[in-house]
Amino acid sequence: LAVLTEPRGVMRPGNYFNNTTNNDVEEEPKVLRDTVQMEVGPSHRDQIKRSEYRKFLKIRTIVFGILALVFLIVGLPLAICFKEAAGRAVWAIGLMLLVLSAVCALIFLIYLPIFMRVMATRSDTAAYHPRTAEALKDSPYPRQMDVASPSLSNQPSSRPLTATNPNYNPALDPLLQSRPLAYLNAPSIPLEFAENNGELSLFASEVSPSIANSVSTESSEVSSGQNGTPSPSTSNMVAIESNPSENTLVLRSNEITPPPGGVGDGSSGNPPGLGGGSGVGGVSAGSSSGGGDGGSRAGGNDRHNNTPPAQHPFIFEPPARNSHGTEGRAINLKANHFEITVTADDLEHYDVAISPEKCPRRVNREIIETMVKSSHYVNYFRDQKPVFDGRRNMYTRQPLPIGNETLELEVTLPGEGRDRVFKVAIRHLSKVSFQSLRDALSGKSKRIPADALISLDVIMRHLPSMSYTPVGRSFFQTPEHGYDNPLGGGREVWFGFHQSVRPSQWKMMLNIDVSATAFYKSQSVIDFMCEVLDLTDKNDQRRPLTDSQRVKFTKEIKGLKVEITHCGSMRRKYRVCNVTRRSAQSQSFPLQLDSGATVESTVAKYFQDRYNIALNYPNLPCLQVGQEQKHTYLPLEVCNMVAGQRCIKKLTDMQTSTMIKATARSAPDREKEINNLVRRANFSGDPHLKMFGITVFPRMVDIQGRVIPAPKIQYGGRTKAQASPQLGVWDMRGKQFFSGIEIKTWAIACFAPKRIVREDALQQFIIQLQKISNDAGMPIQSPPSFCKYATGQDQVEPMFRFLKNQHVGLQLIVVVLPGKTPVYAEVKRVGDIMFGLATQCVQSKNVNKTSPQTLSNLCLKINVKLGGINSILVPGVRPTVFREPVIFFGADVTHPPAGDKTKPSIAAVVASMDAHPSRYSATVRVQSHRQEIIQDLYPMVRSLLLQFYQSTRFKPARIIYYRDGVSEGQFSNIHSQTFGSLVQVLNHELRAIREACVRLELEYQPGITFVVVQKRHHTRLFCADKKDQMGRSGNIPAGTTVDHVITHPTEFDFYLCSHAGIQGTSRPSHYHVLWDDNNFSADDLQNLTYQLCHTYVRCTRSVSIPAPAYYAHLVAFRARYHLVEKEIDSGEGSQKSGNSDERTPTAMMRAVTVHPETLRVMYFA
């Protein structure tokens, strides 16, 4: 009977946990058979009303009713008519049929009332949502997860959101009304859209007094229930903090929430409200009283006031830290954070306007410094030492004697030709309180004051900005004479230090780290040109440049500053806008004579006549400087590169390799260098710090961290062997893939010439690859059915088309490349996009000299590209989150190289497709240039959720979302709780995820945990005890975790170094939880994150970030190759093929749309 009444006959746990070819996984706990749907309504039975259940009941009810009728009709005549001895056998059959008829009738009677009740209360009928059901008839969105939905493709939905469809109005969308809308923005709070100056903004309706009383105090532990009875707060929703002074409603996850109540239909044309059940009072757009039943409006009545409801813009805030981690062995650490003590209580903030505007920060600082030191203005500043950020913000310890008036002053700076006069207007803005900052750090206040953080940062950066070359948050000093650390191409490495102020637990911290970046060398433009073009001797450059040389030189020097050398001591600076096609002796321009006549003159003749300079290189081109329309030309030989210009263009592979070698330092060496930087900084002698009462403790802060134990790795084959990672590494020898793919038909295409890869070397490579793959459990049954040499990227498409048509069932194409070549991008474009063929590229050097390690790494990638599973986490020791269906998302946004202002940004999202998790599916979008947020996240998440359901037959009960690609500069604003940056990262993407869930099924509301992963930061951890150091680099061990002292004072974040450092100093990843419906403890989330770092398929090592975030980066990187245009080498230099239509958004989206066959596997591995 339990089997017959199982509510999810087609959705059994075996489909989710054993949906691979290997059926020997440990059986999961029986609790997994429970429903996946989250309980958000009055009862469990109401929550499992979905299409599968209704179909199940309908089919069983009809079948058993028909069987009872058939058995009765057939069995009754047999039992009555055949009573003689000769007919006893038939008579017995008749009786048996009558018994079966009675059993079927009984089951039919059991199913019938259940079926009738479910059909009467189905969630998408008018009885449950009266106004929504009408609109759903014409909605293009499915009401439940329909496996046959056409939107499983990688294309955007037919009805996209406002980002892609300006005519879409959320206020008119019935699917966004009532409870789904509350889930999208703030669980348990009905919201409504308000239109402001043509733009839609989100507002909350007035909060009822009952709920306001129970949730307005953040520190409360219980919420008042009905009749004053305390009711424990739940943890999977939000708390509301009303701030009347700012007119905002702040939403925090994991704090105080009412227990889930029912959904009321409301009245008087208002949207349905949420009842509080027997807990706290509900929320109503009008006024309401205590908690009511789910069947009625919160409080039961819907009284309206004449005054409009108060409106508050919603601000989503990260959850407060609920615990500190305790698991793992203790380890003593040091961090490159230095304690800051501030004794001053407040300071004065002034706005400074300098005209003319748009001067460089260096010039602005020089103006303010001259103004403060001027004897004319001593009455204003006296003994004050103001600090200035180089733009508009100035801070002083004591107020200036100007009151609320605007002080206007003149400042004169000596110029190259004549003095420059600037006007400075100073106006008092506000008083900045450091006491409020101390209150926030000590836990008395949860909101860190942004103005205090910014002012402290300006004070700490003031003196270094005057003494060094600032780049972002780093400072660099001009290399001393004799310094030589070239990168090639006219570039060199400059070393400096990074400095930033960060709030931490109980103290402000100064983060200091060594820093390095590429600068252009200060040299003559002739020497710069020779380095860029790889010319050995500049004295040989008497002949003109070729077109390809000129194009390459123009790309490198355009936008850089040069200074002239032919005017004596006056070294005027210009910015290069172009390089002329003609040489100096043939480039002409209109010259106005003293008589007023205009004649044509060449550049070489002008310099000979005007400056008496005979050019040594008259056949070389000229630099066009200043504004392009003014035609100002300078010969190369009279120009030098201006010192201190940072290289923002992408480094070549060779330059990157050289820079890594130059900057790599072992952890002990880096620690020693940081301490030397602090010693040389001499913070105790900084007069500005003394003026503001700031002290920096010159020793690294001591921390006690923990080393989390590593998970065990499960392999397959006959032995079902397990691997135990040691120090972030494990060995696969003697083990086989958990699910290996048998390769029957494959091909090899060698794009390296025969002189580089001989045929015998290719044959030996094939033999060794077959041997290693067979040992790994991925048998290659036969030699390749196709093995040919080819040359050039133009042969890729016809060759792949031939293989696709002639070799039916072709599984893999191995492509041998001679090195870094455009053929790689073409192979991936044709294989991934056009034909859906799995490709694996191999460098020629690895074919000529095979090694077991290289071939094993190839097999790791090939197996997953064909749909196999390399290894999984041992099920018995996985975190508790795996006890019910969970989906892991990874998201990343990659941007074009700095200096490129045309190429788009690429957003990629991947999601797990099984319970291990081992298989992932990907989706990618092209979006606006340098757009940080993922604009089309809703259709991307929706597509992946449908694929998960199609793969497992389960809806995920939890969503774990790892977001990479958020820079520290952007994310640092989140620490100050500014509304704009919070909306960018959290509000947009969290709402998009929730909208994807609601549009798949009206009541599908899984718990979401939103975690930002950061690698681009400057926090480093060092072992306090040498015994704990690992390897030659002396790094911290893999699994080292820190969640106190240097972390955020109130929010949920931690540092985790999940990989073993091989070269240089290990950089721990920083994880910041921006939203957590699932109420993870610190230990649970840290263990889960660390275990996911062991599931990366490309190697048998734990990696630095969780596998889903890593895969998202790979997908975006692969899409960048899909967008690469073919280059045609011609006499005019490198040209792009195609026309301008190929750069339209539609064309670019088409260029990254992956073939359906490719989407089924992890093509990006």
Give me the mean pLDDT over the 1112-1123 stretch.
96
List CB contacts of 698: < 8 A, sequence separation 6 or more. 338, 678, 679, 683, 684
Of the candidates 260, 640, 377, 334, the one whose C-alpha atom is nearest the C-alpha of residue 509 is 334
Beta strand pairing call for 839-843 and 812-817: parallel
Residue 1081 corresponds to which tokens in the numbers above? 């403890």
For the stretch 242-283, pLDDT in tens is 443 343 444 545 433 333 333 333 333 333 333 333 333 333
Q: Tell me, what DSSP letter sits at residue 829?
A: I
Q: Tell me, what DSSP letter sits at residue 987?
A: I
The share of the chain scoring above pLDDT 70, in percent, equals: 74
More confident residue, 1047 or 1129: 1047
Q: How far apart are CA 17 and CA 954, in angstroms?
A: 10
One-character DSSP codes across 529-549:
HHHHTT-S-GGGTTSPPPHHH
Q: How far apart are CA 443 and CA 440, in angstroms?
A: 5
Cβ pair 905, 930 in contact under 8 A? yes
Options 3.40.1710.10, 2.60.130.10, 3.30.160.270, 2.170.260.10; CATH for 523-642 is 2.170.260.10
Average pLDDT over the chain reads 79
Give me the mean pLDDT over the 1003-1010 stretch.
94
Residue 350: beta bridge partners? Answer: 394, 428
Of the candidates 495, 492, 641, the one whose C-alpha atom is nearest the C-alpha of residue 560 is 641
Cβ pair 1112, 910 in contact under 8 A? yes
Residue 958: beta bridge partners? Answer: 886, 1007
Residue 1140 corresponds to which tokens in the numbers above? 């301008």
Cβ pair 1022, 291 in contact under 8 A? no
The CATH number given to 740-868+1125-1165 is 3.40.50.2300
Tell how many helices (H) and how many strands (E) occur in the chain: 30, 46
Q: In what order do the strands lie in the sheet with 191-196?
A: 191-196, 199-204, 312-317, 248-253, 238-243
Give me the mean pLDDT over the 953-969 stretch.
86
pLDDT greater than 60 at residue 979: no
Confidence of residue 314 (pLDDT cuts 50, 70, 90): low
- How many other CB atoms are there within 10 angstroms of residue 632's CB atom? 14
Q: How far apart are CA 626 and CA 624, in angstroms?
A: 7
Give me the mean pLDDT over the 1031-1052 stretch.
95
pLDDT at 210: 34
pLDDT greater than 70 at residue 80: yes
For the stretch 1051-1106, pLDDT in tens is 999 999 999 998 899 999 999 999 999 999 999 999 999 999 999 999 999 999 99
Beta strand pairing call for 393-396 and 329-335: unpaired
Residue 743: beta bridge partners? Answer: 780
Residue 360 corresponds to which tokens in the numbers above? 């460089």
For the stretch 361-380, pLDDT in tens is 999 999 999 999 998 898 89
Cβ pair 1059, 1104 in contact under 8 A? yes
Backbone Cα Rg of the chain = 35
> Inter-axis angle of helices 88-120 and 51-81, to 10 degrees?
150
Read off the amino acid at residue 287.
S
Q: For the chain, which residues make up each domain, given as ranges?
A: 169-304, 343-472, 523-642, 740-868+1125-1165
Q: How far apart are CA 826 and CA 790, in angstroms?
A: 13
For the stretch 775-818, pLDDT in tens is 999 999 999 999 999 999 999 999 999 999 999 999 999 999 99
Same fold, 523-642 and 740-868+1125-1165: no
The share of the chain scoring above pLDDT 90, in percent, equals: 58
Cβ pair 994, 184 in contact under 8 A? yes
| Distance in Å from the first CA to the final CA of the chain | 47
Of the candidates 488, 483, 493, the one whose C-alpha atom is nearest the C-alpha of residue 655 is 488
**Residue 435: its H or E element:** helix 434-441
For the stretch 393-417, pLDDT in tens is 999 999 999 999 999 999 999 876 6
Q: In what order do the strands lie in the sheet with 713-714?
A: 722-723, 713-714, 872-873
- How many other CB atoms are there within 10 angstroms of residue 341's CB atom? 11
Among the residue ranges 240-254, 440-454, 820-834, the one predicted with the least confidence is: 240-254
3-class SS string, 253-289: ECCCCCCCCCECCCCCCCCCCECCCCCCCCECCCECC
Of the candidates 797, 818, 847, the one whose C-alpha atom is nearest the C-alpha of residue 751 is 818
More confident residue, 942 or 222: 942
What are the angstrom distances between the C-alpha of 5 and each of 32, 110, 111, 360? 17, 9, 8, 75
Give me the mean pLDDT over the 1122-1145 stretch.
55
Cβ pair 906, 925 in contact under 8 A? yes
What are the angstrom distances between the C-alpha of 1141 and each of 242, 401, 637, 904? 51, 62, 41, 15
Of the candidates 358, 357, 381, the one whose C-alpha atom is nearest the C-alpha of residue 371 is 381
Torsion of the alpha carbons at 951, 953, 956 and 960, rounded to the nearest 10: -10
Read off the amino acid at residue 12.
R
pLDDT greater than 90 at residue 516: yes
pLDDT at 650: 87
Q: In what order do the strands lie in the sheet with 393-396?
A: 387-388, 393-396, 346-355, 420-433, 407-413
Question: 768: burial class by Cβ within 10 Å (0-12, 13-18, 19+)?
Answer: middle
pLDDT at 191: 32
**Residue 925: its H or E element:** strand 920-927
Cβ pair 265, 201 in contact under 8 A? no
What are the angstrom distances between the C-alpha of 317 and each of 206, 780, 1071, 1136? 20, 53, 16, 47
For the stretch 82-109, pLDDT in tens is 655 556 778 788 888 888 989 988 888 8
